[in-house]
Copies of this chain bind each other. A is one copy, B any other.
Amino acid sequence: MMNEREMELMEFIERREYLRLRKELSEMNEVDVASFLQELPAEEAAIVFRMLPKDLASDVFAEFETSMQHHLVGVMTDKELYDVVNDLAVDDAVDMLEEMPAFVVQRVLKAADPAMRKTINLFMKYPEDSAGSIMTPEFIGLKANMTTGEAIEYIRKNGEDRETIYTCYVMDEKRVLIGVVSVRTLLVSKDDVLVSEIMDKNVISVVTETDQEEAANLLKKYDFMSLPVVDKENRLVGIITYDDAMDVIEEETTEDIERMGAVEPSETPYLKTPVSKLAKNRIVWLLVLMVADMISGGILERWQEAFAAMPILISFIPMLTDTGGNAGGQSSTLIIRSLAMKEIELSDWIKVWWKEVRVALVCGVILASINTVRIWIMYPGQIMVGITIGIAMICTVLMAKSVGGILPLIASKLHLDPAVMASPLITTIVDAGSLLIYLNTASALLHI
């Protein structure tokens, strides 16, 4: 939906007041311009896009969704494409090309400067999800024997086309990373101080093969604005900026949430994902869990006679199994999130289990008491049924919280994604477990 500002811009388009439109757009933030253009029909968007001033155009282009970029590459002239592509940050260009069909990649690479083309080709070779795949080569590199004054002068001359100038990296003559210094430190130091005197020699860096999530978490942990990426000889090849790191963290969190909801993660936004893809991402888990549910079905089938003898027992099944599922899901949710936030380690498993057991006892006893009293009131003369449900409830919650607390840790130990072990699978395991607990308790106490 359009906001007021966008409605106003629409009117300029309708009245063909293009000069006025161009002026308004030039004053807006590129993020807002991109989101406005994406609201327009594709052809109109292309017309307006080509009106934008040159430097705004490439900033806006970098903000577009892939489908829009794809469309624009198709309608731009070679000259227009040249301007846009060579003004893009290398990481944005690589990001875009990774999603494009081969003939679009060809056209874009042809439009790029030889130097830009070489860098893009090099960067596209890093494996997906590696630190190399999200880094940019546009950083400020200083020499240790520069003075602060010289360093500032260097930044003033070369800062224009660097992704971030605020953290500068110091390299020796072989481009080996030997120090880091912030622009702030440079600015507040005297002009004649040597960079080597004020730089921090303990540089925290990653190699190009490091997992992008690990790199992003490192950057977040230290609140860095950028993180240097080195090759195996410790030569600086690029930096990861904080905004890209935050995107990685958000993406990984979304994947975790989707896995916890028994959905295969998708890279496209919900409304842009076709039905067939959405169905494919969900059917596998639905099938696996449905088959697993047959265990519960089998248990119920074997106890058919008990239900025939005491049909009232059937009506407590949803309450016991659902409470088990909910109790287990609560535990697994907390443990999975704590693992993702590095608040819990594998070695904490005894602490986790002991905490869950105590929480389960508290919750189980409360739930059981309420139920027993309720059954005692609602079903006069059936006090043994009430006691059966109470005992089954306590045991179910204990079992559910133990499974929910420990299963994600086991997954992590086995180098599986703990999120995959979350609520749905745990619900299914706990379902079968709670039925066994229920029916065996009933058999022992009610002699059926």
Please, which residue of chain B has its CB at the minimum distance from the CB of A371? B290
Q: How far is the CA of A438 from the CA of B275 in the complex (A)?
A: 26
Cβ B261 vs Cβ A330 within 8 A: yes
8 Å CB interface, A218-238 against B = 220-223, 225
Q: Which residues of B contact A307 (CB under 8 A)?
A: 307, 311, 314
Cβ B322 vs Cβ A270 within 8 A: no
- A interface, over-half SS: helix
| Residue from B269, B298, B327 within 8 A of A286 (CB atoms) | B327
Listed stretches A120-128, A277-285, A380-388, A440-448; interface member: A277-285
Cβ A222 vs Cβ B29 within 8 A: yes
Cβ B359 vs Cβ A282 within 8 A: yes
A152 to chain B, nearest CB (A): 7
8 Å CB interface, A300-331 against B = 300-301, 304, 307-308, 311-312, 314-319, 321-323, 325-327, 329-330
Please, which residue of chain B has its CB at the minimum distance from the CB of A370? B287
Q: Digitize A183-210: 1 where CB-to-B-CB distance is under 8 Å, 0 elsewhere.
A: 1100110000000000001101000000
Q: Number of contacting residues on A, CB 8 A?
A: 108
Q: Which residues of B contact A333 (CB under 8 A)?
A: 257-258, 260-263
Q: Which residues of B contact A222 (CB under 8 A)?
A: 29, 31
A343 interface hit (Cβ, 8 Å) = yes
Q: How far is the CA of A330 from the CA of B258 in the complex (A)?
A: 8
Q: Which residues of B contact A250 (CB under 8 A)?
A: 249, 341
A87 interface hit (Cβ, 8 Å) = no
Q: Which residues of B contact A136 (CB under 8 A)?
A: none
Given contacts A337-B257, A428-B322, contact A304 B311 (CB under 8 A): yes
Q: Which residues of B contact A1 (CB under 8 A)?
A: 345, 347
A385 to chain B, nearest CB (A): 12
Given contacts A286-B363, A315-B301, A330-B285, contact A293 B323 (CB under 8 A): yes
Given contacts A187-B159, A322-B293, contact A359 B314 (CB under 8 A): no
Q: How far is the CA of A257 from the CA of B44 in the complex (A)?
A: 40
Cβ B367 vs Cβ A322 within 8 A: no
Cβ A315 vs Cβ B287 within 8 A: no
Q: How far is the CA of A363 from the CA of B270 in the complex (A)?
A: 17
Q: Which residues of B contact A424 (CB under 8 A)?
A: 326, 329
Given contacts A279-B362, A314-B307, A351-B271, contact A319 B297 (CB under 8 A): yes
A165 interface hit (Cβ, 8 Å) = yes
A355 interface hit (Cβ, 8 Å) = yes
Q: Which residues of B contact A423 (CB under 8 A)?
A: 261, 329, 423
Apart from A27-B201, A242-B242, what are 16 other A-B pairs with CB-CB below 8 Å?
A1-B345, A165-B183, A166-B166, A246-B249, A249-B250, A261-B334, A269-B343, A271-B338, A278-B355, A279-B362, A282-B330, A283-B367, A290-B322, A290-B371, A307-B314, A322-B427
Q: Chain A residues in contact with chain B, CB under 8 A?
A: 1, 27-29, 31, 152, 155-156, 159-160, 165-166, 183-184, 187-188, 201-202, 204, 220-223, 225, 242-243, 246, 249-250, 253-254, 256-258, 260-263, 269-271, 275-276, 278-279, 282-283, 285-287, 289-290, 293-294, 296-298, 300-301, 304, 307-308, 311-312, 314-319, 321-323, 325-327, 329-330, 332-335, 337-338, 341, 343-345, 347-348, 351-352, 355, 358-359, 362-363, 366-367, 370-371, 397, 423-424, 427-428, 431, 435
Closest 10 CB pairs of A and B: A261-B333, A296-B318, A279-B362, A301-B315, A304-B311, A293-B319, A297-B315, A223-B243, A269-B343, A270-B338
